[in-house]
Structure 1
Amino acid sequence: MRARCLIVDDEAPAREELRYLLTTFDHVQVVGEATNSEEALTLLRSLTYDVVLLDIRLPGGTGLEVAAALREAPNSPKVIFTTAYPDYAVEAFDLEAIDYLVKPFDAERLGRALDRALSAPVEESEPEVPSQPGRAAGWASDPLGRIPVQQGDRTVLVDESAIVYASAARGYSYLQLSGDRVLVNYSLNELERRVGGHFFRAHRSHLVNLDHVRELIPDFKGSLVLVMNDHRRSRVEVSRRKTRELRRLLGM
């Protein structure tokens, strides 16, 4: 279940640094590198990737052009720009980039970007289930309040209060705990039906435990970003429609 990552950068030291930082994350595997836009597009057409770390200025084109081409492709990977140039962030987000990292950055900052990329909506995501009026989704909760997690040949029961947030993963879900991230055999919709009313469907790909929200930050699109209280201080975006619902729920 390791995410497949492509690094695109024309400078060998930069690619080496990214490979080194990515060794911090057991759930990510570098399976390709490209040094220019043509190589990048060739690799992207020949193999399925989950995430691309993409520089802006490349021989033969730009990372923005590569990202634009990816928008037309089915099941395209999520794009994280990694660049020394801060001036192209607006164009990058217009191309639906997940994040824009300006060099130098550390493993913690890269980790937050990867979390966002790997929990972003996928085409196979199930339709969003409407919440019960006046309450977070998950009305018909599991009375045990436990989620079974398969670990090797044994099953561990995770108390739902320990779940910081959950994210969609192509028919499965990732549970972000305080210091760990585990995969469960439930879609996000199924998980939403199991947990209690203190969970909120912030996005079709995110289910957050409101008890673990540390901060609410408005973004430039008029939505909210939730800063969670796990060890990475993960950030979870709230969709624009769900932002209105959350504001009502919190009396904001």
Structure 2
Amino acid sequence: MPRALIVDDEAPAREELRYLLEEVGRVQVVGEATNGEEALVLLNSLDYDLVFLDIRMPGLSGLEIAEQLREMPHRPQVIFTTAYPDHAVEAFDLAAADYLVKPFDAERLQRAVERALSSGGERAEPGARRDDGVPAAADAERQAVRPRAAEPEPLVRIPVQKDGRTMLVDGDSIVYASAARGYSSLKLGDERVLVSFSLNELERRLQGHFFRVHRSYLVNLRYVRELVPDFRGALVLVMNDRQRSRVEVSRRHARELRRRLGV
């Protein structure tokens, strides 16, 4: 059975997580740490398959621990368990398997564990382009080339959890969306936020002037500033935000994109 380590500075949180993991029954908890330093000692003394990491702890944070895990020869899968949803994008940049916001139940935890264990043999390097690792990628490609409805549905606002509140994000403020391991990351002006919708779900909600340019990217065509060919002959979009974000276009979507943009 896969071995798991729980890292959290609060004893009740560790006890609750251990209890939920016993209900899930997919892993064996063989260690607990109350801070980052203890966690690193345990991680260097035994090969763990899965680590449940709190983020805000005395000393090393969970993000700093995850950063150090990248250097380990046997790098365990990481599931962040935290009361703070505002570090999700940073967590997924560190190739986290999942990001759970407290409180969560056994069902949500089970999905996270199954996702982590199923991807254990294909651990992606942090920051790598997920050109073939997005869930239902092939289906996403097929859906992306289907003709759109002549009269798209009205724009639906996207709910975003932030600082314990639910914010409603208007589609016109979304520069682009990208796939993020079972979630999606929205680029909004100067910030990124994580939502629980898949890219396929966002594509269905954000029709009209949104276009799926890649299995991992859905762009707001109103923000496209330039089309730049890259060294491979493919296209890269430069978006009209302050950072001049660049978004890759897959070859199979390039022709339709040019048609949509009238170029």
- The runs of 5 or more residues in structure 2 that have no matched partner are 1-61, 79-90, 95-119
Query: Would you say 1:240 and 2:240 are equivalent positions?
Result: no
User: 1:231 Cα deviation (Å)?
Assistant: 2.7
Please, which of 215, 221, 226 is the counterpart of residue 210 of structure 1?
A: 221
1:76 corresponds to 2:123: yes
Q: Deviation string for 1:97-142 (max 9, x for gaps)?
A: x4xxxxxxxxxxxxxxxxxx4x755242442113443xxx687755
Q: Is 1:149 the counterpart of 2:180 in the alignment?
A: no
Aligned alpha-carbon RMSD (Å)? 3.2
What does 1:30-179 correspond to in 2, within 5 Å?
A: 30=64, 31-33=66-68, 40=71, 42-44=73-75, 46-47=76-77, 74-78=121-125, 98=128, 117=129, 121-126=132-137, 127-128=139-140, 129-133=143-147, 141-179=152-190
**In structure 2, C-alpha distance between the alignment counterparts of 1:193 and 1:139, rounded to whole Å:** 14
Q: How many residue pairs get matched? A: 162
Partners of 1:139 and 1:196 within 8 A in 2: no
**1:125-174 residue CA offsets vs partner (Å, 9 max, x unmatched):** 442113443xxx68775524311112243221111010000011122111
Provide the TM-score with structure 2 as the length reference.
Answer: 0.52
TM-score (norm 1): 0.54
CA contact (8 A) 2:210 2:218 kept: yes
Q: CA offset at residue 186 of structure 1? A: 0.8
1:22-33 mapped onto 2 (5 Å cutoff): 29-30=63-64, 31-33=66-68
Q: CA–CA distance in 2 between the matches of 1:159 and 1:121? A: 29
> Percent identity over the alignment?
50
Cα distance in 1 for partners of 2:126, 2:164 equals 35
Q: Structure 1: where are the runs of 5+ without partners? A: 1-27, 53-72, 81-97, 99-116
Bigger Rg, structure 1 or 2: 2
Letter in 2 for 1:169: A
1:225 equivalent to 2:236? Answer yes
